[in-house]
């Protein structure tokens, strides 16, 4: 394990998400070197220069742009390259464009970084996590996707507004696809140890079923709403990636809803990548937690998995 602040992280793609993630990592204290790689080399160079100047105001940190060979020795490869989601476009609509990119680009990075953990971000992240796993020939524990880490944060944020409690005191997860079939797990949500169904809601909220339906809708639509207004998302996902990176490099054994390839878990008897609460540490995914889901939630998770499997089958990889 690298010493605190000495790890090397390579970010593939210097667009909104990649560059914002690099900026967020400046403050983490766990990274000593960041390499930005982009097909637009001038863009990567400019971002590296700007970030290097910013790092001077924080702490010594090596930031450079480069090519796959410059990523040699990286502890984590963060893959953000790909076509952006357009207004009105679902994450699954991106699949064929971005799957080809992963198949073409990732092997060269793996060649130079055979020991790195892979952290996929490009959408549709669950499908591309599966593609990256196939392309890399690494065990599922070492190929992670950002999954529903941000969705779970949005879930806790919206719950906090309704119950009037700091979201850091709320435990609640979104599982399944990072997308339209994702599953907010209300049955296990709790506020400071009190089950959500037993916690008093804000004045004026009388129908808990409508309350849950509204929260679910807002969580699913959040990214679309942001993209419609500003054209892209960046801050939330960048901080989610920083949290995942910290959990890995500090070997925190932190529970995060990352996406990874599973088989014969939750009665899903085929290989598919989706999000579940996982213990994350230096070796990547250490374990997948067996949530005691309510029957309706388990059924919704199976529908989500089946949706992803149908798309994977169209890729023929």
- Where is the binding site for substrate, in residues? 85, 91, 123-126, 151-154, 233
Please choose, from the candidates 278, 295, 296, 128, the residue with its C-alpha nearest in 3D space to the C-alpha of residue 216: 296
- Binding site listing for beta-D-fructose 1,6-bisphosphate: 156, 171
pLDDT of residue 201: 78
**At residue 47, does pLDDT exceed 70?**
yes
Which tens digits make up the pLDDT trace of 183-234? 999 999 999 999 999 998 776 666 888 889 999 999 999 998 998 999 889 9
Q: Is the pLDDT of residue 105 over 90?
A: yes
Q: Report the catalytic residues.
A: 178
The model carries a pTM of 0.94
What confidence category does residue 238 fall into, taking pLDDT thresholds of 50, 70 and 90?
Answer: very high
pLDDT in tens, 5-32: 789 999 999 999 999 999 999 999 999 9
Taking residue 306's Cβ as centre, other Cβ atoms within 10 Å add up to 13
Closest by Cα among 63, 80, 66, 135 to 104: 135
Q: What is the pLDDT of residues 176-193, one digit of tens each?
A: 999 999 999 999 999 999
Annotated binding-site residue numbers: 13-18, 38, 43, 82-83, 85, 91, 98, 121-126, 146, 151-154, 156, 171, 233
Task: Set out the domains of the chain in order of their start, with CATH numbers.
Answer: 7-145 (3.40.50.720), 148-315 (3.90.110.10)
Buried b / exposed e along 1-29 (16+ C-beta atoms within 10 A): eeeeeebbbbbbbbbbbbbbbbbbbbebe
């Amino acid at each position: 394990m690298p010493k605190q602040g000495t790890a090397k992280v390579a970010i593939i793609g210097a667009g909104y998400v990649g560059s914002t993630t690099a900026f967020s990592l400046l403050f983490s204290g766990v990274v000593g070197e960041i390499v930005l790689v982009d097909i637009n080399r001038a863009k990567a160079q400019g971002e590296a220069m700007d970030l290097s100047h910013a790092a001077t105001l924080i702490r010594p940190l090596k930031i450079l742009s480069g090519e796959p060979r410059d990523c040699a020795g990286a502890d984590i490869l963060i893959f953000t390259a790909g076509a952006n989601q357009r207004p009105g476009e679902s994450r699954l609509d991106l699949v064929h464009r971005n799957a080809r990119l992963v198949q073409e680009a990732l092997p060269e990075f793996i060649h130079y970084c055979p020991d790195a953990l892979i952290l996929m971000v490009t959408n549709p992240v669950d499908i591309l996590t599966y593609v990256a796993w196939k392309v890399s020939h690494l065990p599922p524990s070492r190929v992670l996707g950002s999954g529903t880490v941000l969705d779970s944060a949005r879930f806790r944020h919206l719950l906090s507004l309704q119950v009037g409690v700091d979201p850091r005191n709320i435990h609640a997860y979104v599982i399944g696809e990072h997308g339209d079939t994702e599953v907010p797990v209300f049955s296990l949500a709790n506020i400071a140890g009190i089950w959500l169904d037993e916690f008093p809601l804000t004045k004026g909220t009388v129908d808990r079923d409508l309350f849950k339906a509204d929260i679910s809708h807002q969580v699913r639509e959040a990214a679309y709403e942001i993209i419609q207004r500003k054209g892209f998302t960046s801050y939330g996902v960048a901080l989610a990636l920083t949290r995942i990176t910290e959990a890995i490099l500090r070997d925190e054994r932190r529970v995060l809803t990352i996406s990874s390839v599973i088989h014969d878990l939750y009665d899903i008897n085929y290989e598919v990548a989706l999000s579940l609460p996982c213990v994350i540490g230096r070796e990547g995914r250490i374990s997948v937690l067996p949530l005691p889901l309510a029957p309706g939630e388990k059924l919704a998770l199976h529908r989500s998995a089946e949706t992803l499997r149908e798309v994977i089958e169209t890729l023929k990889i």
